[in-house]
Structures are given as C-alpha cells and as structure tokens.
A and B are shown apart, each in its own frame.
Chain A
Amino acid sequence: MDQLINDFSPGLFIMQTVILIVLIFLMVKFAWKPILNSLNEREEGIQGALDAAEKAKLEMQNLQADNEKLLQEARAEREAMMKEAREIKTKMIADAKEEAKEEGDKIVANAQAAIESEKKSAIAELKQQVASLSLEIAEKVVKHELSDSDKQMKLVNEMLGDAKLN
C-alpha cells in the first residue's frame, strides 16, 4: 500500500486526465459519432431492405394465392357454365323433341281428320255420283227398254210375273 501510494504520480494523473478528456472529446466528435451514426444507418438500411424483401415475398405469396383462387374460380365457373350449357342443350333437345312430337302428332291427327273428312266427303260424293250415274243408266236403260211397246209389255209381264212369284 505504501509502495502503491509512493508510486502514484500526481503529475502523470493530471496529464492522463487532461489527455483523456481531450481524447474522449475528439474521439466522440470525429470518430464515434459519425461511425455509430453510419453503422446505425447501415443497419437500419439492411433491416429495411430485409423487411421490404419479406413484405415483397408475402405479397408475392398473396398474389400467387389470389391467382390460384382466381384460377380455381374461373375453372369452377367454366365447369358450371359447361354444365349449365349441357343441361340447357339436353333440355332444349328434349323440349324440341317433345314439341316436334307434339306438333307431328297434331299434324298427323289433323291429317287423319282431314283424310277422314275427305274420305267421308269423297264417299258421299261417290255415293251421290253412283246414284246419279245409276239413275242416268237406269233412265237410259228404261228409255231404251221402253222404246217399243212389245218390250214394255214384256217388262210389265215380267214384273208382274215376279210380283206373282213373290
């Protein structure tokens, strides 16, 4: 202890104190402050860049997910549309078939009705013509038969004979 106190040099202490104060002041002003500021700036820059990259990555992921979703939706929509179209197609075909059948049936029925009525009228006409033709023939025959009195007499006799027989 005595040795320590003896070794303590007040002059050196004062010099060291003064130099250290000056040194701290100069170092802070010319070295530490600019260095620490630059380091902080750089670190903030790096952190900012990393954050931005992370953000960009996230956004990219979101975007991709969105894209995927959109694609899925589009696909689903297309599917739905196709299905609908198919359904519509089948329905339309079925409807058309139905309608065509109905129409056909109707036409057939109409035609049949028309044929029936035509037939009926034709038959009627035929009947009428046959009748008139028969009358005409009969008239002509009768006219011809009754042109001479012998034959008239004969016919009357025949008829009378028939009548008798009956």
Chain B
Amino acid sequence: MKISFYSIKFFGLLFSFLLTLNGFANEGSDNASQGDERINTENEIKEYIQHHIKDAHDFHLVSYTNDAGERVHVGFPLPVILYGRDGITTFMSSEFHHDTEGKVVVEKNGSRFVNYHSKIYELENGASEVAFDADKHPVNASRPLDLSISKSVFGILVIGLLMLWWFSSLARQYKKRSIPKGFGRVLEPLVIYVRDEIAKPNIGEKKYRKFTGYLMTVFFFIWFLNILGLTPLGFNVTGQIAVTAALAIFTLIIYTVSGNRDYWIHMIWMPGVPILIRPVLALIELLGAFVIKPFSLLVRLFANISAGHIIVMSLVAIMITLKSEMTVFGSTTLSFVLALFITVIELLVAFLQAYIFTMLSALFIGMAVAEHDHEHDSDGTHELSDAEDVRADFI
C-alpha cells in the first residue's frame, strides 16, 4: 500500500507520525503520479489548515492512492440538508465527490448546488457553473440555509449521545448503590467539581440548583468536544464560531431572563451615583450585559480552540517545511517533540476553556440573581430617618 503525503491528519500525533514516515518512504516513487493532491508548499499547508479549521460536509479521515493509481478516501459521507429557494433539499455529501472548489455541480429538485470551501452555494437559475469575482467570492450563487448533519453537527450528536449515555448510566447506578463503580466513579467527582467549584461559589448556596443543569451540560459538552478536537478524527466543533455563539447566547438568555429587580436597577439606574452619570453608566452596563459579556464568552472559546488547532497543525507541518534544512529525521523529530508538547498543553486548555466558559456563565448568572440586601436596606433606613427628622421638626 502506498500512502501519499496528502493525509496529515493532525491530532493523533503518533498516527500522523507513522503516516508521515510512510509518506517519506514512498515519496520518491510516487512523486510523479499524484502531484496535484499533495501538500508540500507553505501555501498549500496554510490552505489545508484553513480547510481543517472550517466545518466539513463529509467525514474524511485519510486519503491514499492505491496500487491501481486511484485516489481512495477513507471516511463516510454525511447527509446534506438545505433550505433554499425551492424548499428543503436533501442528499448525501458523497455526491460532491470530495470537491470543495465548486467544480462539481449537484442538481436536485431543479436547483444546482456546489461546495466551495466547505460552504454550499445554490446557483442562480440558469447558471451551470459557479463564477467568482476578484476576491474569489461566488457572484452567481447564494447560500441556502445549511441544516446539514455536517462534521460538527455529527460531533455534537456523538458527544451529546455519549454524555447522555454516560451520565444517565451514572444516574441509574445510584438507584442500586450510593457509591458508583466503574466509569461512574470517574464521572462523579467531575460532577461534584462543577457543582461545588463552579455553580455553588458563583451563584450562591440558595439558587444554584436551578442553573446547575445548564452549567453541567455546557461544561461537559465543551470539555468533551475540546478533547474530541484533539483526537485524530479531525473535529473542530468548539472552534466553530456558530457553536460558541449559540453557547454564549444561551448564557445571555439565562442571565437576562433570571435577572432580578436589583440586577436591572443596578444596570439601568445605578443607585448611589450622581444622577447625571446614571445614563452613561446605564449605557455602559447595557452594552456590557448584552454585547461584551456574550461576545467575550464566544470569542474566548472559539479563538483558544482554533488557535490550538492551528498551532498543532503548524507544528506538524514543520515536518514538511523544514525537511530540506534539517533532513527528514531532524524535521520529523523536531515537529514530533514540539507538537507533543503543545498537544499536552492543549489537553490542559481543553479543560481550562470549558472551565472558564462555565465559570463565567455561572458568574454572570450569579450577578443577575444576587441579592443586594445591604445597600438597599441602608438606603431605605436613610430615607426613613430623614422623614422622621422632618416630622420631628414639624412637631
């Protein structure tokens, strides 16, 4: 079997390491036969990384050229569900034949679709081929609402089902015994950790119960997806801005809906501050609550995970870029050591980002439901004593 150099799937380092060695071993003989699909130059690597960071419509693990000289793609297609001009259209992503350059046109229900840079475009009526402007943006095509089970959605579903399976079996264990055994014993301290270190201290002993379900779901969802992103399967779910945006908006909705009277008073008409400053403060507070907080949440997670993926992939790519300067062995060793180091850090980051997202969500919720007893009590008594003074003067 001749494995081409195309397949550097980045997150199983050992996997890619072996793969790469094989690639090197076969390089000489295969050079001529598969020049166009290989990734060797800096631009190609950059493009490949860009491609990986984005969502995909099929589950693609590795490609190689078999003995007969045909490209074999290991992976499986995923369903494409589109809501375009003519309603809902569904077909399997295999119809694009792994094309992401907009060359393969799929015709369904009278509409024509192309896959350009992992985004599906619907060609305008009459167009048979996608046309680009100077910035490489398609000009004669629009983007339908893409509800496909894309790679990210697939990852979300997998993790969702895993979570449901693991934690509901943990829940079922408690019916029989009070101390779980097996994998449940691993999960239980994590649940207790989220409850005691994230939910309770940030929201408060009295009210944390109501929000723990959300916080735990989000924590394990993000963490497991982050870890899934470090596997060789090539998922990048928490690096999708749409996913982190959805998570951030959930938090926004929860702390906005559950905000109590004090929260809104402090936001809109801050007590204890000169009247003239209050509108300015209100503007800042509103901006903070509705834009800055969710935006910081979504960008932090998205940027950290994407950056991690880009760094690991770039380090793996050292194998290729420094090959001529350092020999095959040198560049591979360097890349392996560096990538291993960063991957270990990324493991930490995977946990840390899940923790930070959940912790900040809990903090924002805690701020919204906190009771400001002291300030308001003192305000009230002040007014009361003033009134009594006045009355005393009158008498």
Chain A interface (Cβ within 8 Å of chain B)?
4, 7-17, 19-20, 22-24, 26-28, 30-36, 38-39, 41-42, 45
Contacts and interface: CB of A to CB of B under 8 A. Distances in A.
Contacts of A42: 174, 178-179
A43 to B, nearest CB: 9
Nearest to B145: A11
Contacts of A45: 178
Given A9-B240, A19-B160, A32-B167, A14 B147 contact: yes
A162 B167 CA distance: 165
A36 B191 CA distance: 8
10 contacts: A9-B146, A12-B146, A16-B153, A16-B156, A16-B246, A19-B160, A23-B217, A26-B164, A27-B163, A31-B164
Nearest to A43: B192
A35 to B, nearest CB: 5
B14 interface: no
A32 B174 contact: no
A11 B164 contact: no
Nearest to A27: B217
Name the residue in B157, B241, B247, B249 with the highest tally of chain A Cβ atoms < 10 Å from its Cβ: B241
B216 A32 contact: yes
A34 B153 CA distance: 28
Interface residues of B, number: 44
A8 B147 CA distance: 13
B217 A35 contact: no
Interface in B128-171: 145-150, 152-153, 156-157, 160, 163-164, 167-168, 170-171
Nearest to B306: A7
Interface string B195-225: 1000000000000010011101100010000
A27 B178 contact: no
B246 A13 contact: yes
A83 B32 CA distance: 122
Nearest to A32: B213
A36 B192 CA distance: 9
Contacts of A13: 242-243, 245-246
Contacts of A34: 171-172, 174
A21 B188 CA distance: 23
Given A32-B213, A39-B192, A27 B164 contact: yes
B243 A36 contact: no
By DSSP majority rule, is chain B's interface helix, strand, loop, or mixed?
Answer: helix
Nearest to A11: B146
Given A19-B157, A23-B217, A35 B191 contact: yes
B264 interface: no
Contacts of A26: 164
A10 B245 contact: no
A4 B241 CA distance: 7
A8 B191 contact: no
Given A9-B242, A14-B147, A36 B195 contact: yes
B55 A31 contact: no
A38 B242 contact: no
A28 B215 CA distance: 10
Interface string B173-186: 01000110000000
B250 interface: yes
B171 A20 contact: no
B213 A35 contact: no
A153 B172 CA distance: 166
B293 interface: no
Contacts of B73: none
B54 interface: yes
B191 A39 contact: yes
Contact of A15 (B153, B192, B195, B245): B153
B178 A8 contact: no
Contact of A30 (B55, B153, B171, B249): B171
Contacts of A28: 213, 217
A30 B168 contact: yes
Contacts of B212: 32, 36
A36 B215 CA distance: 13
B60 interface: no
Given A31-B171, A35-B170, A20 B250 contact: yes
Nearest to A13: B242
B278 interface: no
A101 to B, nearest CB: 87
Name the residue in A22, A39, A41 with the highest tally of chain B Cβ atoms < 10 Å from its Cβ: A39
A19 B147 CA distance: 12
B46 interface: no
B178 A23 contact: no
A41 to B, nearest CB: 8
Contacts of B179: 42
B174 A35 contact: yes
The 4 closest A-B pairs by CB, nearest first: A31-B167, A38-B174, A11-B146, A28-B213
B98 to A, nearest CB: 20
Interface in B230-246: 240-243, 245-246
B213 A27 contact: yes
B172 to A, nearest CB: 8
Given A11-B147, A16-B156, A38 B178 contact: yes
